[in-house]
Amino acid sequence: MKQSAKAVPAESPTEQVAGFIAKFDSGVAKLIRDARAALRKRFPAAHELVYDNYNFFVIGFSATERSSDCLVSLSANARGVNLNFYYGAALPDPCKMLRGSGNQNRFIRLENAGTLAQPEVEGLLRAAAAQAKTPLGAGGQRRTIVRVVAPKQRPRRLPAGSSGPSS
């Protein structure tokens, strides 16, 4: 008699995200968790689109399941965490906080999760939500959707003896 293989239950998105974050050094992992919690509170109806790519781990906060509807995202590598504005080039930035020179995306390096509470950053988050092509619903059901898990990735931890995250 042939034995059937036991089905291994697939990890939930929550378990997958926790595993992705666990790949990072403790300081970067804590910053990802803290910044994610702050953005989840700030955008309670946003879907989280998760990408564990070759270069970066990314969590996008989107009004829909389409990445083009992302308002902002967190991107992390071994050196630290950025807050990315998908359509940041069109945002008013009187304090010159945004970095980047592409046609569309801009970002802010996060020193800690408290950066998200700075009035200038709060203003950018409000402006990003206001300019969204698809506005966030007031009471939608958030979903965490793991989109991409790259089979090959850059190391998520700095080599021993490195100086740590840099700006």
Residue-wise pLDDT tens digits, 37-68: 999 999 998 999 999 998 999 999 999 999 88
Report the pLDDT value the prediction gives residue 165, as an integer from 0 to 100.
53
The SS3 assignment for 11 reads coil
Distance between CA atoms of residues 88 and 123, nearest Å: 12
pLDDT of residue 152: 86
pLDDT in tens, 112-143: 999 999 999 999 999 999 998 888 876 567 88
Query: Tokens representing 120?
Result: 């200038």
What is the rounded average pLDDT for all residues in the chain? 88
Tell whether the model's pLDDT for residue 96 goes beyond 90: yes
- Residues 6 or more apart whose CB falls under 8 angstroms from that of 52 comprise 20, 58, 146, 148, 149, 150, 153
pLDDT of residue 164: 57
Rounded Cα distance, 55 and 19, in Å = 17
Please state, in angstroms and rounded to a whole number, the distance separating the CA atoms of residues 106 and 67.
16
pLDDT value at position 78?
94
Burial of 124 (0-12, 13-18, 19+ CB in 10 A): buried
Structural domains of the chain in order of their starting residue, each with its CATH number? 13-149 (3.90.1150)
